[in-house]
Amino acid sequence: MKFFHCLTSLFNLLLILAGILNYVLLAVDPKGNKVNTYLGAILILVAFLNAAIEFYQAQKSAAVLQSFLNLMPQQCYVVRDGKSVQIPASDLVLGDVVFARMGDKIPADIMIFACTDMKVDNSSLTGETDPQDRSPINDQKNPLEARNLAFNGSLVINGEGYGLVIRTGDNTVLGQIAGLTAGEDSGKSPLTREIDDFVKIIASIAITTAIVFFLIGYFAVYRDQAGGISSTLNFAIGVFVAWVPEGLPATVTMLLTIAAKRMATQNVLVKDLTGVETLGAITLLATDKTGTLTRNQMTVTNIWSSNNMYSAFRSAANAGAPFDASSPGIPEVLSISALCSRAKFDRTDVPISERQVVGDATESGLTRFAAANIANFDELSDLYPKVFEVPFNSENKWAMTIHRKDHANGTYTLLMKGAPERILRLCSTILINNEAIPLTAEHSKAYDEMYTLMASKGHRVLAFAQLLLPGSQYPDGHVFDKEKKNYPTTELCFVGLISLEDPPKHGVREAIGRCRSAGIRVMMVTGDHPLTAEAIGRKINLVLSDTKEMVAKQRGCSVDEVGDNEYNAIVIHGEQIDSLSEQDWDLIFSKPEIIFARTSPKHKLQIVKHAQALGHIVGVTGDGVNDSPALKKADLGIAMNISGSDVSKDAASMILLDDNFASTVRGIEEGRLIFTNLKKSIQYTITHSMPEVIPNLLYVIASIPLPISAMLILVIDLGFELLISLTFAWDKPETKSGLMKLPPRKPVTPASIERRRRMALRALPPVVDAESGEEVQPSFMARFHHDFMAMFTGVYWREKFESTEDEVLVDAGLLSWAYLEIGIIETIGALVTFFVVLYKEGGVTPAMAVQMQKNGDFTTDDDNSEPAKLLAKAQSSFYLGIMIMQLFNLFACKCRYRLPFGMYMFSNVRTFIGVALGCALGFFIVYCPGLPVVFKTSNDTAFVYLLIPFAFGVFILFYATLRTLILRKIRPTALNEEIIGLNMVPTMKTMFSRTKSIQPSTKD
C-alpha cells in the first residue's frame, strides 16, 4: 500500500501517463513509431524507480509503537492469594498489589502505600534530572509530581515498595504518551509541499499544452494527411515530455542524499531526506533542557567553607576564588563527599576519568569531585571504614554515616550532608580556619547570603556537617543502633556548602547564539522547575532580556502594572498552559525569549501545534519518552543518540549522534546550503525546457522540421543534465557567514500571521459526524469544488499576488530565468544552429525547410534518404547545442549574490568532473557507432557548428552578470542585525582547562 502511494504521486503519474501514451501511439502506428517502445519503457521505469526511492525512505521510520513496547517490563512481582508471585506485566489488573525494588521497572501506574527509601527515575517521562522520592504521603497537586505515585516504565533506583495498580496499558501515563505519539503526524515537509506545487504547475502547463496543440495540429495541419493522428500524437507526446523534467525527482533525491551523508560525518543522522532541507528552513527551535542543552550530569560548581567562596572552575567569573584542595575546610568537605555517600565507581582497575558511577546524580557528582581531588580516594573506604549509616529520606532530608576515623578525642567521626536549612538547625558550631567555633547570627547571615546566591543560579545546594564523637561516650567497639537511636543528631559542626548544577554542554551557548543571529527563535520546553530552567537559559544565550517579574521589581510596582510591551522574556509554568486563551498564546509567541517549565508530554504537543498554527516551521529536540509526541508532530524532530530513548529516536526525523546541541547549528547551516544549491540546480535543470518545447510548437504552428525528438529530450533530462546538476550538491556558500546571517526563508511576522488566519477562515472546515461527534475531513470533490469556486473571487487573486517575505524553492524569479530569459536565449541559439546546419550541409534555407516538411520529405520512413540524413545532422547539432549552452548556464546559475567569475567558480572541483562526464555522455550519444539507429542522430555532425552555441553561451554569462548588477541595486541583500548582549564565549572550553587538573573524571 505504501509503495502504491509512492507510485501514484503526481510526478510519477505524469511519467506513467507519458509512457502509456507512447504505447498508445505504437498501437496506432506500429511501423512508424518503434522508437516509442524505448521511450515508453524508459518513462515507466523512471516512475517506478522514483517510487522505489520514496518507498525506501518511508519504510525507514515506521517503528514508533514497537519502541514503546520495549519500555514495558516483561515480568513483575505481584501479591496474590497472600503470596508473592512473578507474572507477565501484561496480566496485571486494577487493584493488584505490586512489589518493586531497586533495578525494577514499574509495570503499571501504581499508588504507593508502603515503601523503604524508595526513589524512582522519572527523567524519561517528565524530564526531571534528579531521582524522585516515593512515599505513601503526598503533598503535591500535580499528578506527575505526586510522591505516592509511580509510573509505568520508570526505573526504581533505590529502595523498594508496594503499590496498588491504578492504571494499566493504554491508560497509564506511558500509554497516553504512546497514544499521543501514534496519533500525530508532522505532515508534508516544506520542501515536499513546494515541489508538489511546482509539479502541479508543470503538470497543468504540460497537459494543457499537449491537448491544445494536439487539437490544433490535427484539425489545422494533419487531419487530411495519411497517418495524421499518429503524427499529431507523436508531436503532443514530444511537447508533454519536453515540459516534464524527468530527471528532477532523481536530482532532488540525490542532492539530499549527498547532503545527508555529509551531515552524517558531522554527527547528524538524517532518517528522512527532506529533513535535511527542513532543518535549514526552521523558524522556531523548541528544545528540551536535560540531556540536550545540559549534560545530564550533576557537577560541583561552588564551595563555601570557612567564610570563603571557591569556584570549581576558573571560568566562573565573580563566583569566588580559584579552588584549592588545601584551603581551610575544603579537606573536610571532600572527605564528607567521598565517605557519606552510597555512590560507587563500577570498577577500580582503570583511571578515574574512564569509570562509571553507580548511584543517583547528586551523589555521583560529589563522588567524581572528591575522587578528582583526593590522592588516595580508592583507599578511603579501607582507611576509614563505615560502621553505621542512616540513608537519606524525605522526612529527615539528610544522610548520615559514622566512620572509624581517629581524632584527638576518640575513635569515631560522624559525617552528615543534606538540605542546608535542615543541617544548619542541627549545628551549634561552625568550622572556621580548621577550628570549631560557636555558630553566631553573623555566621547564619553569611550562610543565608551564600545559600541565596547559589540557589539563585539554579544550582542544587547541599550542606555538610561533622561531629568528632568523644571517646568517653562512644568508646571503641560501640555498637550504633538505628532503633535505639544511640547516636547524636544535634550539636554538630557546620563545615560548608556545595552547589551542583547540570552544566550546559560544550558549544551550546555558541550554538544558540548562532541560531539567534540566523533569525531562528530558540525556546526551552522542559519538565524542570521554572527557576532552574531560567537560570540555565540565561547562561546559554537563550534568555538575555528581563521578564515581567524582573521589570516589576526594578520599577518597584506590581506585576499587573507592567505592560506587555515592556518585557521580552517570558517563563510559563506548565500549570498555566491548559488555561491559556488564543490571545495568551499570541502574546507568548510574540516574545523573542520563551521558556516553558514543568511541562507534560501533552503540553509539549500543544506548544508545537500552536507554534505551527502561527506559521512557524518548528524543530523539536529531545531525548525522553515524554518528548516523543512533540518530536513526531514537529516539522522536524531531532533526537539524541546516546541519552535518547528508542521511542524518541523512532519518533524523530533526525538524530544527533554525539548528543551535542551544537551539531544542530551545523545541520541548520547545511540545510540552508542545500536549499540554496537545490534551487540553483532546479533553475539550471528546467532552463532547457524552452529549447525543447518551443521547437515542438513551431513544428506544428510554422511547419518547421522537428529540431529534437522525444527520445533526445529524454536523453537530455536523464543524461548529461542529470550528471551535471548533481555537482550543485558540493557547492560551497557564496559568503563565509552569509547563510547564518540571513533571516529564515519563511519568516513569521504579524503580517504573515494575519494572512494565514484570513486564509484559514476561508478554508473548507471539517464536517462533524452526528453520531460520533468526531471531525471528518471534507472529501476530495468537496475540496476541489471549494478551491475551484474560490478562483472566481477577487480575494483569491489578491492573495495570490500579495507581496510576502517568503522565499520558495521555485519562485517567479527562477521561472523567469528558466522560461523567459535564458530559456529563450538558448532556444534562439539552438534554432540558429539547427538552420545553419541545414543550410551548410544541404543548402536548405528555412523557407525551403518548411516546404520540405509540408511535403513530407523529413518524415519519410527511410533513414538512408538524403533529407533524413540531413535532419539527423541538424538534430544532433541542436542536441549538442543545448548541452554547450547549458554548460555556460551552469556557471551562471551557481551565483545568486556573486558575479559568475573569480575563484568561487573553481571552489567545487566536482563541477568540472560533472562537466567532463556530461560532455562525454552527450558526445557518446551522437558519435558512438550504432546509437544513431536508436536516437536518430548522425555521427557525421561537424564540430565547427558548435561554435554557434558557444557564442550564445558567452552571451549568457554576460547577461547573467548584467542581471546580477541590476538586482543588487533594486533588491540589496539584508543581513540580520547584531543582537545586543549576545555572549559567544565558549560554554565549557575554558572550564575544561581547570577540569582536567581537578576533575579528570568529568566527561562532556
pLDDT at residue 400, rounded to an integer? 94
Rounded CA gap, 461 and 535, in Å?
14
685: left (phi over 0), alpha (psi -120 to 50) or beta: alpha
Beta carbons within 8 Å of 912's beta carbon, 6+ residues apart: none
Which residues contact residue 321 at a Cβ distance below 8 angstroms, ignoring those fewer than 6 apart?
308, 309, 310, 311
> Which has the higher per-residue pLDDT, 317 or 934?
934
Q: Can you tell me which residue has the cell 505532515?
A: 187
**pLDDT reading at 463 higher than 60:** yes
Question: HEC states along 541-567?
Answer: CCCCCCCHHHHHHHHCCCHHHCCCCCC
992 pLDDT tier (thresholds 50, 70, 90): very low
b/e code 143-166 from CB counts within 10 Å (16+ = b): ebbbbbbbbbbbbbbbbbbbbbbe
CA distance 265 to 576: 42
Are the beta carbons of 333 and 319 closer than 8 angstroms?
Answer: no
Task: Check whether 683 has a pLDDT greater than 50.
Answer: yes
CB 639 within 8 A of CB 651: yes
Strands 97-101 and 83-88: unpaired
Q: Is the pLDDT of residue 334 over 50?
A: yes
**Ordered alpha helix ranges (H), 617-771:** 628-633, 646-651, 662-687, 690-701, 710-718, 720-725, 750-762
Predicted confidence (pLDDT) at residue 846 exceeds the cutoff of 60: yes
pLDDT at 225: 59
The mean pLDDT value of the chain amounts to 82
What does the alpha-carbon distance between residue 716 and residue 883 come to, in Å, rounded to a whole number? 8
pLDDT confidence of residue 424 = 93
Task: Give whichever of 523-537, 568-582, 614-628 has the largest mean pLDDT.
Answer: 568-582
pLDDT tier for residue 916 given thresholds of 50, 70 and 90: very high
Contacts of 730 (CB under 8 A, 6+ apart): 258, 908, 910, 911
Query: Which residue is listed with cell 546550503?
Result: 673
Q: What sign has the CA pseudo-torsion 205, 211, 217, 222?
A: positive
Q: State the average pLDDT over residues 905-925.
A: 92
Q: Where are the beta strands (DSSP E) in 251-395?
A: 268-270, 284-287, 299-305, 308-311, 321-322, 344-345, 357-358, 386-390
Residues labelled catalytic: 288
- Rounded CA gap, 394 and 418, in Å? 10
What pLDDT score was predicted for residue 596?
93
pLDDT tens per residue, range 777-804: 777 788 777 777 887 777 777 777 676 7
- What element of type H or E holds 354? none
Task: Name the one residue in this structure whose C-alpha cell is 528546467.
Answer: 686
Distance between CA 441 and CA 989 in Å, rounded?
A: 40
Q: How confident is the model at residue 64 (pLDDT cuts 50, 70, 90)?
A: very low
Bridge pairing between strands 569-573 and 593-597: parallel
State mean pLDDT over 82-92: 86
The pLDDT value recorded for residue 7 is 44
Contact between 703 and 221 under an 8 Å Cβ cutoff? The reply is yes
Helices (H), 564-687: 574-577, 582-589, 601-613, 628-633, 646-651, 662-687
Per the structure block, which three cell numbers stand in for 850?
A: 518548411
Q: What is the mean pLDDT of residues 738-761?
A: 85
Closest CA to 214 of 34, 47, 21: 21
- What value does the mean pLDDT take over residues 813-834? 94
CA distance 9 to 4: 9
User: For 68-79, what is the mean pLDDT?
Assistant: 66
Rounded to 5 degrees, φ, ψ at 683 are: -60, -40
- What is the separation of C-alpha 168 from the centre of its chain, rounded to a whole number of angstroms? 33
Whether the pLDDT of residue 531 is over 90: the answer is no
R_g of the chain, CA atoms, integer Å: 37
Of 140-154, 270-284, 670-684, 747-761, where does the model show the most confidence? 670-684
Examine the pLDDT at 2 and tell me if it is beyond 70. Answer: no
Q: How confident is the model at residue 996 (pLDDT cuts 50, 70, 90)?
A: very low
pLDDT confidence tier of residue 616, bands split at 50, 70 and 90: very high
> Which residues partner with 187 through β-bridges?
none
Domains, the chain, ranges and CATH? Answer: 70-182 (2.70.150.10), 268-294+506-659 (3.40.50.1000), 299-501 (3.40.1110.10), 672-681+690-766+804-973 (1.20.1110.10)
For cell 476561508, what's the residue? 762
> Does residue 587 carry a pLDDT above 70?
yes
Query: Could you tell me which residues come within 8 angstroms of residue 4 by beta carbon, excluding any fewer than 6 positions away?
Result: none
Reported as a pLDDT band with limits 50, 70 and 90, residue 315 is very low
Residues 264-290 have pLDDT tens digits of: 888 888 877 777 888 889 999 999 887
Q: Per-residue pLDDT for 6 more than 90?
A: no
Residue partners of 382: CB distance under 8 A and separation at least 6: none
The residue-averaged pLDDT of 512-529 equals: 88
pLDDT of residue 27: 57
pLDDT confidence tier of residue 494, bands split at 50, 70 and 90: very high
- Cα–chain center distance at 588: 23
Residues 6+ apart with CB under 8 A from 698: 704
Percentage, residues of the chain above pLDDT 70: 85
Q: Which residues in 74-154 belong to E strands, given as ranges?
A: 75-80, 83-88, 97-101, 109-121, 132-133, 149-150
Residue 180's φ and ψ, nearest 5 degrees, are: -65, -40
Q: What does the alpha-carbon distance between residue 288 and residue 502 come to, in Å, rounded to a whole number? A: 13
Residues in the chain: 1004
> What tens digit of pLDDT does each residue of 338-397 get?
999 988 888 888 888 788 887 777 888 899 999 988 888 888 988 999 999 988 776 678
764 CB-contact burial (10 Å; exposed 0-12 / middle 13-18 / buried 19+) = middle
- The answer to whether 205 and 239 have CB atoms below 8 angstroms apart is no
Around 723, how many Cα atoms within 13 Å sit in the side-chain half-sphere? 17
Do residues 658 and 259 lie in contact, with contact meaning Cβ atoms separated by under 8 Å? Answer: no
- Following CA atoms 478, 483, 489, 490 in sequence, which dihedral angle do they give, to the nearest 10 degrees? -100
What average pLDDT does the segment 595-617 reach? 89
Cβ–Cβ contacts within 10 Å for residue 48, how many?
Answer: 15
DSSP 3-state of 659? coil
12: nearest Cα among 58, 41, 43: 43
Look-up of cell digits 576533575 = 999
The pLDDT, as a whole number, for residue 272 is: 76
pLDDT computed for residue 816 by the predictor: 92
The pairs formed by 343-348 with CB atoms below 8 angstroms and a separation of 24 or more are: 343/367, 345/371, 348/378
